[in-house]
Chain A
């Protein structure tokens, strides 16, 4: 089973964030990422086909409302429910997973995807996820998001 290049995952994420939320992210040096929030939305999708694994997207709660507002086309600061914020991160993970698989495998192979599973991550677990060899980071205005690819 081939192993995918995690840098492709961060490039795919930056592209879909721009397309869906009109926001710009850039690849970050994960050794220079600072903890900037107390709570994080962490969404995971499993894929199964010629290769199999899990993709996780971890977004600080603070920036998730800005992303949701941009995707929905509403004013930043307008109240968005916690459920909507979770759905935003789950939907981004969904799009990320589908786009990433065709970026690395092309459009012929057939993959099955699980529904996204959401969990809240607290600050003590954030650093461990970031430090994983299977994780990379991107920044939106200096705010780090974690992308993890387990295979």
Chain B
């Protein structure tokens, strides 16, 4: 029903576009148009689609809760809790569509009938109202087309509002995510002291699990120390950067300064394809190839190596980040004005001297910015760590042992059975928001560094 209605509105809008354009051509024969004919079409189409669709969306949003209020009115005298009322409403809905399998009481049956009836009324009302609006707005718009009113401005204003609504939606969703993170995190910090979270050195949320009731506060104190996770996150990111920065930077310099046009033409897209490999592929590469390889080498040298080592995860993550750094630093280096290169070459400097003394220093802020962006990517990377670095949060600085990161722990916490309102579940939100703050911080610094660099030339 809804689908048919929306399709109808959209088809009508298309039709009115062509109709409006045609009408404009008719007007053109007798008087001067106020805009190109297509604006007449846009004007009619916008007036056709926008009011009807807005009402449709609003109706769809509010209809369920209004119906629910009507149904539950019959139950107000029974002194039920909110959860019980919700349960009843679910049952009524299930009964109405025929998927209910429990005992059918008279009362329920009556409510279900009422539900079906209400739904029917609502649907017909919706169709009627929307048709009325379509007729009203179309006739209004048609009249101003006939009068040959100014068409360009209303269309431009309409487009501005469409764009505004789209960006408002994006912003609101982001804000919503942040707030939901924040509220859950605040609930978590009511159960666990923020001090214990930030400075505690033991992360073992599983031990706070109790079947019913609240866990022991003493246990809570020692279970949610995030230090091992932060340490693990930055440690693995550090290993990754040790791999990615030298290789990425040197290949970026090669591509921008040394590679001939032929090489660059093919090498650059290939490197960028590397950036498109799904991280889960890197993950099993790390877990199944690099991890055992590191372990074998270590064992051959007489070292004790865990098969899930920070080294393997970090190294593969570094490989994943190489294209990121090389591509960005290539762009930054290419952006260094040619006249600086000319100036250096004209002084008799060789290529490597020019790169080292002129181009690299000039591009340095941009390179630093790209490295910071890469770090924030490494910090937020999940899949490789989950698969290759282990899930036990050891506080260690030994790259051959297994360690865990913030992202990996969030995965551990939120897969499988969980209970909302449980500190263990809520801790994921606390971790999420701290990760968000860290990467936000890195991104802000990176962007401001890059921006300052941009201002330097012109």
Do A and B actually bind? no
